[in-house]
């Protein structure tokens, strides 16, 4: 990683992908034996596919991946970067396979990457960069619920725990000369958020990095994402409203999806404009059904039921992402959400818990259908949880589990998860284990995989 290679890497992380590609072409001509070019191109192709989601360009970039692997395999095996660069290329490719729902291909690449990293750690134990990826893999596989473990065991050599992964990431962070230090710090924060259940710790990690969200769209995404997931919707809203637009950077449509979500959580019906912007600009198929659902909700917030129905009629399925599946299920029901429950849901998601509670108190429970009543108990539990009334929250969570265990909606499964998190926070490990196990025993038709991963992560923490 020469100075010039580092400049190209920084340009890629600034999302200036076309400019970075031109610089890479020049770099290859000048330094034909420096395989950092292949390593950097792997980042570039990964971001290009992830930002626009266009499966039509995947075939061309797949051919580049094959050429890149051939070039890296001709590298110098005595270098600690040899296996590391090969593993990174395969990890990037596996994430693309996962995005496009090619799960077997993703497992194969993950398995190859893991073997490369494991061997690199044995041969070069002091090359700490290896532990950046090894830690993430071990933490991720440690969070996989038991019913999905067979896939990992059948198609890969992967094993590990969240604790093991955190320790390895800490080892990678101890190398201050790591040319990918900022990347490692960001990945560490997301591990804390998604797998260790520590949103506050994750946000503090990110907030102390000196990111520049006004000039770097990737920084904007990182900071806004952590802000939204740690109950700082106002900060996310300000960050996303000041996102960089235009210039040399690649278009980042998902930032407008996030902006629409942040506005929707303040009950602002103009949120639909940003979801519409996302749907027009994003070439992929994921998130579009969810965006259409949120457009419909924005119409409903403005009292326009006809606009809601028209927006929902444009949902046709086609993506297996959790949010898209949820949108398709709502469209299939042909039933308008109960307005106050919807407002309470959105306000809670923005961490406006007092306002959400006021909305719930307006509802006459006797007027609710069975599924609406189940949602009411779940939402009330969530709001009381957000207000730190843990005993009150638990009573509603457990009532939701009793009522909804066999219902296809996610409310009972999520309630069991939240009950486990409360007891984990209060140090009641046995009760936390019970509720996390309850979550794993419930199989809703929506969000099951994500909820079970979180429950398995919780079990690993309290056992």
| ∠ CA 244-247-250, rounded to 5° | 80
Three-state DSSP class for residue 337: coil
How far is it, in rounded angstroms, from Cα 25 to Cα 127?
29
Domain 3-196 matches domain 337-463 at the CATH topology level: yes
Distances in Å between the Cα of 18 and the Cα atoms of 21, 24, 45, 64, 117 are 5, 10, 11, 16, 30
325 is written with which tokens?
Answer: 């599946």
Model-wide pTM > 0.85: yes
**Fold designation for 337-463:** 1.25.40
CB 110 within 8 A of CB 94: yes
Q: Specify the pLDDT at position 17.
A: 96
Work out the end-to-end distance of the chain between its first and last CA atoms, rounded to an integer number of angstroms.
42
Give pLDDT, residue 395.
97
pLDDT digits (tens, 9 = 90+) for 273-301: 999 999 999 998 899 999 999 999 999 99
Half-sphere exposure of 93 (CA within 13 A, CB side): 28
Q: Which of 152, 135, 85, 105 is nearest to 453 (CA)?
A: 152
> For 80-92, how does the pLDDT look when each residue is reduced to its tens digit (9 = 90+)?
999 999 999 999 9
pLDDT (tens place) for every residue of the chain, 463 residues total:
999 999 999 999 999 999 999 999 999 999 999 999 999 999 999 999 989 888 888 888 989 999 999 999 999 999 999 999 999 999 999 999 988 888 888 888 988 999 999 999 999 999 999 999 999 888 877 666 555 555 565 555 677 777 888 899 999 999 988 899 999 999 999 888 887 778 999 999 999 999 999 999 999 999 999 999 999 999 999 999 999 998 899 999 999 999 999 999 999 999 999 999 999 999 988 999 999 999 999 999 999 999 999 999 999 877 777 788 888 888 888 889 999 999 999 999 999 999 999 999 999 999 999 999 999 999 999 999 999 999 999 999 999 999 999 999 999 999 999 999 999 999 999 999 999 999 999 999 888 888 998 898 899 888 8
pLDDT at position 360, please?
96
**CATH T-level fold of 3-196:** 1.25.40
Domain boundaries, the chain: 3-196, 198-252, 268-336, 337-463
The pLDDT, as a whole number, for residue 362 is: 92
Phi-psi region of 318 (alpha: psi -120 to 50; beta: other; left: phi over 0): left
Residue 73 CA to residue 218 CA, distance in Å, equals: 31
Identify the burial level of 176 via C-beta atoms within 10 angstroms of its C-beta, where 0-12 means exposed, 13-18 middle and 19 or more buried. exposed
Q: What is the pLDDT of residue 40?
A: 97
* Rounded (5°) CA angle 110-114-116: 120
Q: Let me know: does 378 contact 417? Beta carbons within 8 Å.
A: no
The token duo for 205 is: 């990690």
Element (H, E) at 24: helix 17-30
* DSSP code per residue over 71-109: HHHTS-TTSTHHHHHHHHHHHHHHHHHHHTT-HHHHHHH
């Amino acid at each position: 990683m020469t100075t010039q290679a580092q400049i190209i890497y920084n340009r890629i992380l600034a999302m200036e992908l076309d400019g970075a590609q031109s610089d890479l072409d020049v770099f290859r001509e000048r330094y034909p034996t420096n395989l950092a070019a292949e390593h950097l191109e792997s980042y570039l192709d990964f971001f290009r596919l992830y930002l626009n989601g266009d499966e039509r360009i995947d075939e061309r970039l797949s051919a580049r991946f094959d050429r890149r692997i051939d070039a890296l395999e001709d590298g110098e095996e005595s270098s600690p970067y040899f296996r590391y660069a090969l593993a990174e290329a395969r990890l990037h490719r596996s994430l693309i396979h996962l995005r496009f729902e090619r799960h077997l291909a993703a497992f194969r690449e993950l398995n190859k990457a893991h073997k490369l990293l494991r061997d690199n750690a044995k041969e070069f134990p002091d090359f700490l960069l290896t532990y950046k990826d090894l830690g993430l893999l071990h933490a991720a596989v440690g969070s996989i619920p038991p019913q999905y473990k067979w896939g990992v065991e059948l198609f890969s050599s992967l094993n590990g725990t969240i604790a093991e992964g955190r320790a390895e990431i800490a080892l990678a962070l101890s190398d201050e000369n790591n040319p990918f230090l900022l990347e490692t710090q960001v990945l560490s924060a997301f591990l804390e958020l998604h797998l260790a259940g520590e949103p506050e710790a994750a946000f503090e990690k990110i907030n102390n990095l000196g990111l520049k969200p006004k000039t770097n769209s990737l920084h904007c995404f990182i900071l806004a994402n952590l802000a939204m997931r740690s109950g700082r919707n106002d900060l996310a809203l300000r960050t996303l409203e000041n996102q960089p637009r235009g210039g040399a950077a690649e278009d980042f449509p998902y930032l407008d999806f996030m902006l629409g979500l942040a506005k929707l959580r303040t009950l602002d019906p103009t949120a639909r404009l940003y979801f519409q912007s996302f749907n027009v600009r994003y070439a992929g198929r994921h998130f579009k059904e969810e965006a259409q659902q949120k457009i419909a909700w924005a119409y409903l917030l403005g009292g326009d039921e006809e606009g809601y129905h028209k927006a929902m009629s444009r949902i046709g399925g086609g993506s297996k992402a959790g949010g898209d599946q949820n949108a398709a299920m709502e469209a299939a029901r042909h039933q308008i959400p109960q307005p106050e429950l919807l407002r309470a849901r959105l306000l809670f998601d923005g961490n406006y818990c007092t306002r959400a509670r006021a909305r719930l108190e307006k509802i006459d429970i006797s007027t609710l259908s069975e599924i609406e009543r189940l949602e009411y108990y779940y939402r009330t539990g969530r709001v009381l949880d957000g207000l730190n009334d843990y005993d009150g929250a638990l009573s509603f969570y457990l009532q939701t589990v009793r009522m909804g265990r066999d219902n296809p909606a996610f409310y009972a499964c999520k309630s069991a998860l939240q009950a486990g998190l409360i007891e984990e926070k209060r140090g009641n490990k046995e009760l936390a284990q019970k509720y996390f196990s309850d979550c794993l025993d419930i199989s809703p038709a929506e969000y099951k995989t994500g909820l079970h991963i979180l429950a398995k992560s919780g079990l690993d923490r309290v056992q």
